[in-house]
Amino acid sequence: MSNPIIQTTFNIGYDQFHVSKCGNDGPTIFFVHGAGFCADTWTILMNMLIKQLKVQCYAIDLRGHGRSKCSDEKDMSLDVISDDVLNVIKQVRAKKLILVGHSLGGAIVSKLASQLDNVIGLIIIDIVEGHALKVLSSMQSTIDNTPKHFNSLDSAINWMVKSGRVRNIDSAKLSTKNLFIEVNGKFLWRTNLSMTSDYWKGWFTGLANNFLNSKSAKLLILSEIDRLDKAFTIAQMQGKFELKMIQNCGHAIQEDQPDKVYETIKHFLIRNKFIKA
């Protein structure tokens, strides 16, 4: 099947935000990736959604990521990157909006859900405030142990799979290219995560409050049940959001198990009457 995803650019002031989009009808699903990923992380899932359901899909490259080009890529505070996404969403002019965010993207969409009056659904993937803040202490060592460059794109793809960052080779082949820039025959990471370390804590602080207080229908997709913190556990027991566990995957659930994420989102949309069965 030919790829129906269209690549486009949204201009916000002097900044250019790359967006992948597909579908022409139905509610709009807007995807936001995590730190160090890019819009391509959603490629397989978006193709499944528009092939099977009456929806429109958009996926943004955040500031300092993928194919977006911004005059200031050093300020990666939650306020700044959330405003970026908000401004692009406003240009989309969706009547009914479902926000989907992975990791940092989950924090962004949770923050934005209360700022937009057209949000009917909120989905966050593999992100819980307590767990995220707890693992920040090991983030720098993870970055330090990551190769700084690769000699070929194939080498980068193989490393992504062998390291477990993406466990699905088909996904990795589609999502890896725009994580890198080619300089003198070397493939260097597009995003320098070490340079964002001052913002890590701020990314996730307040996530639980933002997500749980959203008035829209809510879904949390996790790879491991022990990632639930106290606030999320209590709220889940009170039925404030739907919880779906997807096994045999790493952090990038949408890439490792796109079929299961598709089915989970489809059932969420149907159950909440956002689309017809």
The angle subtended at Cα 230 by Cα 224 and Cα 232, nearest 5°, is 65
Among 110, 214, 251, 256, which one carries the catalytic annotation?
251
The HSE-up count of residue 167 (CA atoms within 13 Å, CB side) is 13
Strands, sheet with 186-189, edge to edge from the N-terminal-most edge strand:
149-150, 186-189, 180-183
Distance of CA 149 to the CA centre of its chain: 24
Number of neighbouring beta carbons within 10 Å of residue 228? 18
Look-up of token digits 């966050």: 124
Whether 232 contacts 208, CB under 8 Å: yes
Catalytic status, residue 126: yes
Number of neighbouring beta carbons within 10 Å of residue 195? 12
Among 126, 171, 216, 256, which one carries the catalytic annotation?
126
Catalytic status, residue 154: no
Strands, sheet with 242-245, edge to edge from the N-terminal-most edge strand:
6-12, 15-22, 56-60, 28-32, 97-102, 119-125, 217-222, 242-245
Catalytic status, residue 18: no
Reading the block at residue 189, the tokens are 């990471």
Task: Report the distance separating Cα 148 and Cα 189, nearest Å.
Answer: 7
Among 20, 82, 103, 214, which one carries the catalytic annotation?
103
Task: Report the distance separating Cα 208 and Cα 111, nearest Å.
Answer: 10
Active site residues: 103, 126, 251
